[in-house]
Amino acid sequence: MEVKEVLKLLKRGTVDLVSEAELEKKLSSGKQLMIKLGCDPTSSDLHFGHSVVLNKLRTFQDLGHMVTLVIGDFTAAIGDPSGRDTTRPILKREDILKNAKTYTDQAFKVLDPAKTIVRFNSEWLDPFITSKEILGTLSKVTMAQVLERDDFKKRMKAGNPISVLEVMYSLFQGQDSVALKADVELGGTDQIFNLLVGRQLQKNNGQEPQVVMTMPLLVGTDGVKKMSKSYGNYIGLNDSPEDMFGKIMSISDELMLQYYELLTVEDLEEVKKKHPMQAKKDLAAILVKRFHGEDGAKAGLAHFEKVFSKKENPDDMPELKNAQGKLISAILIEAGIAKSKNEARRLIDQNAVKLDGEKINRDEPLNLTQDAVLQAGKRHFVKLIK
């Protein structure tokens, strides 16, 4: 591919690119570039929102470049303040390492392991904080620059505290780029400040500054908030084929185009020519196949058409015995549909729970005269055995 064509491919879906001219120069050099992504393993699961950046990394890999996945075992203990209105709790090291294992396992569902280097930033940050080098770094970044961050300004205005560790977070993340001599660093739009600090620190250390590319924060299945496990609007990389397919089919037509742009390399003009329902099924098939193979995509489609198109109950419903007399919230938790009593009751209050097709509007003990099917939302079914 010509450099201009490569640039067009890499720019797809990006928000910030600092700078295009620098990226073109690096690509034109013909050398294998080192593309960096830093991730703090603050939770155990990845979702489609995380895969937006992973997909862009995979594009770089397919073009012949090497990716370094930086596991922030040092920085995760501090907590990235980006987009936060409160200080993150400090994580235990054993939790960080446990989460890191699941992060890399799931990231390799998108990335090519043969073109991915995994590094832990404690490798260079542990000695860095005990050396005199840190004093030189701190002297070249002003408090005015740090406190110009939008998230910090909001917290100061609201009277919420900002810890000294959080102020230093961007310096530590930027030091990752210095240690690795990164050519390009990727991140979400909320990471732009941290990524630009990396550029500055590289300049201070006599290195060619990295190109910064940011990707938008993927909107969740609710079509309103960014995709997040805490909002319950996420599609997990470890979701079953049936759940993944169904969640994709639940998004709006408008959001579907954003998913196509950020999660696939399909021609958007060709997508727009399709009937929205067919386009959405194609999108679901592409994404489910990526994580579960051809058989998974077929299983997801078959389940969707049986349950949603034909309005039938699925054949492979889990069964719950001795359901008589149990609270509906307790059954939702036992079936793994809800993780807490509050979440279960929220589903009930939202009229999302049905018993044999009839909506349940109260959390009460079940009075079954025969076996029944409990449904929560559009995708979760459990057969209750009296």
Same domain, 269 and 188: no
- Give the helix/strand (H/E) hosting 105: helix 93-107
Instruction: With respect to residue 235, please indicate whether it lies within any of the assigned structural domains.
Output: no
Q: What integer is the mean pLDDT of 185-199?
A: 91
d(CA 339, CA 361): 19
Does residue 91 share a domain with residue 194? yes
Residues 56 and 189 grouped into a single domain: yes
Out of 275, 309, 343, pick the residue that ends a domain.
309
Identify the band that residue 123 occupies on the pLDDT scale cut at 50, 70 and 90: very high
pLDDT band for position 19 (50/70/90)?
Answer: very high
Interval 336-345 mean pLDDT: 86
CATH number at residue 106: 3.40.50.620
Residue 372 bridge partners (DSSP): 384
Residues 6+ apart with CB under 8 A from 103: 39, 41, 46, 71
Name which of 53-57, 132-136, 174-178, 191-195 the model is least confident about. 132-136
Same domain, 45 and 63: yes
Q: What is the pLDDT of residue 90?
A: 64
Q: Give the per-residue pLDDT at 301.
A: 93
Number of domains observed in the structure of the chain: 3
Q: Is the pLDDT of residue 299 over 50?
A: yes
278 lies in the same domain as 136: no
Write down which residue in 309, 327, 357 finishes a domain.
309
In this predicted model, which residue has the larger pLDDT, 264 or 102?
A: 264
Q: Is 227 a domain residue?
A: no
* Complete edge-to-edge strand list for the sheet that includes strand 372-376: 319-321, 380-385, 372-376, 353-355, 358-359
* Chain mean pLDDT for the chain: 86
Residues 250 and 129 in one domain: no
Residue 101 included in any domain: yes
The answer on 46 and 182 residing in a single domain is yes
Q: 30 is in which domain, residue-wise? A: 3-219
Residue 329, both tokens = 């919230």
Does some domain include residue 225?
no
Mean pLDDT of 198-215: 95
Nearest residue to 301 via CA among 312, 288, 290? 288
Q: Note the pLDDT tens digit of each residue in 32-79.
A: 999 999 988 877 778 999 999 999 999 999 999 999 999 988 887 775
Q: Do residues 210 and 147 both lie within one domain?
A: yes
Q: Is residue 228 part of a domain?
A: no
Domain end call among 309, 333, 350: 309
Rg (CA), the chain: 24
Q: Specify whether 22 is located in the same domain as 98.
A: yes
How much helix, strand and coil, in percent to the nearest 5, is found in the chain?
A: 50, 15, 35
Shared-domain flag, residues 165 and 63? yes
Answer whether residue 314 is part of any domain.
no
Whether 142 maps to a domain, the answer reads yes
Separation between Cα atoms, residue 181 and residue 369, nearest integer Å: 69
